[in-house]
Amino acid sequence: MAIEPASAWKDFAAQARARLSGGVPLETRGTLTRLTGLVLEAAGIRASVGAQCLVRMGAQDAPVLAEVVGFAGDKAYLMPAGDTQGLSSGARVTPAAPFVPPLRLGAEPQATDAERAMQAGVLRLPMGAGLLGRVVDSQGIPLDHGGPLQQVRAEPLDRSPINAMERDPVRTPLDTGVRAINALLTVGRGQRLGLFAGSGVGKSVLLGMMARYTQADVIVVGLIGERGREVKEFVEDILGEQDRGRAVVVAAPADAPPLLRMQGAAYATAIAEHFRDQGRHVLLLMDSLTRYAMAQREIALAIGEPPATKGYPPSCFAKLPALVERSGNGLNGVGSITAFYTVLSEGDDQQDPIADAARAILDGHIVLSRALAEGGHYPAIDIEQSASRVMHNVVPREHFELARRFRAVYSRYQKSSDLIQVGAYMAGSDPQIDEAIRLQPGLVAFLQQDMFEGASMDESVAGMAQALQAG
């Protein structure tokens, strides 16, 4: 019995020697030389882009967390993650202490942690099953007064992208509980879609419906740059007690610094990746992708990047695919992330640069119409402008043909609606328009749905077929 403890102590000592064999890096310190708008400038510090630093006036003062977002010569540009009130020239800037996993007697050595332990400033946030049912901010701090997080471990936000050839194609349909989406814009497991709309036309309500009724093991909600009151409303009114246990909410409201808004989107995506790697099917709801791009615009313009399209610097359009491509199916079909990103079209302009860029990198788009919302038609999905790029791969041919006929009849009525409403159309002039007029009430009734009413995939297809045979 005395041999096992001695062996454990030898392993413990070997781990300690391995950790120290790489040397202990000397702490570098810099000095705050300038604060302009949102950007801090520090001299005398060498830290890589993305590294976390602490800015402190005195030993007794609370530090301000900041991230290195650029450099010029010997100057580093930092974006604060908190209030800069009280800082002045000469404040000390140091890299944040690296996360070093504690050595435990008898525990298996973790090569990954040992290799990364000496990387000063690497941002690590809580990941694990303990996040389920919780509401946290961009830094992993609980907002729901539920006590400290349990069953979590600190992991880095940055992850290596998955080889495109190792991802399974989207082949399995996903039931969202929304009739119009199930029948006409069928979603595949692992697909990335955008909800395009102006403000106040029901994006958040539609997200809530999908969160309530979609078949998923885990739901990750990222509330990025939206109104603060929506956080509690989403958790209590939309998720409710029945779905909260399988959901994680990451909140970075509009009053958060731009760095935290961007970090919140990355954190929500990293949490979804964590559960996907465990083989679970994850539903990622991001509200909104536009606010994420706006946060990047604020940072880029503050450090001097020139604007390109309507005030958006080129880095904004590079950050969008880097975030979106992290979702999707996992390695060799193990786990998946089905993602819905809301895209705010300023002034209901579908050619807004962010909306246009998002449409190009997503696997489909669902457009919400203000005209339909003003007419009391909810969800206000404009099926003529919306499309799912994988629908033909995930539904039977009969379903696809029914959806194509539904779209044709609905569109035919919309194009002739002006003539019909003023009485200029004479019945019998066109048999196809006569059919569209006869079927229109049933089609409109099918597309409308109460937010507390769910519809399965089979019910949605049967309802679509019935609407096309009504009259």
Predicted pLDDT at 233 = 81
**Cα 212 to Cα 290: distance, rounded to the nearest angstrom:** 24
Q: What value does the mean pLDDT take over residues 379-399?
A: 94
Element (DSSP H or E) covering residue 268: helix 258-277
**8 A C-beta contact, residue 405 and residue 383:** no
Task: Report the 3 state secondary structure along 349-407.
Answer: CCCCHHHHHHHHHCCEEEEECHHHHHCCCCCCECCCCCEECCHHHHCCHHHHHHHHHHH
Predicted pLDDT at 26 = 54
Strand duo 153-156 + 124-127: pairing? antiparallel
Element (DSSP H or E) covering residue 92: strand 92-95
pLDDT confidence tier of residue 251, bands split at 50, 70 and 90: very high
Name residue 194's beta-bridge partners. Answer: 341, 365
Instruction: Give me the chain's average pLDDT, please.
Output: 85
Predicted pLDDT at 115 = 41
Kindly tell me the burial class for residue 340, based on how many C-beta atoms sit within 10 Å of its own C-beta (0-12, 13-18, 19 or more): buried
Assess whether pLDDT exceeds 50 at residue 186: yes
Assess whether pLDDT exceeds 80 at residue 240: no
Residue the block writes with tokens 């045979």: 469
Domains of the chain by range and CATH?
30-95 (2.40.10.170), 154-392 (3.40.50.12240), 400-468 (1.20.1270.330)
Predicted pLDDT at 224 = 93
pLDDT confidence tier of residue 114, bands split at 50, 70 and 90: very low
Q: Copy the structure tokens of residue 138.
A: 């961009």
Assess whether pLDDT exceeds 60 at residue 378: yes
**Cα 197 to Cα 203: distance, rounded to the nearest angstrom:** 7
Q: Which amino acid is at 400?
A: F
What digits encode the pLDDT tens for the residues 32-84?
999 888 899 999 888 888 888 899 988 778 888 899 998 888 899 999 988 88
Assess whether pLDDT exceeds 50 at residue 260: yes
Q: What value does the mean pLDDT take over residues 390-400?
A: 95
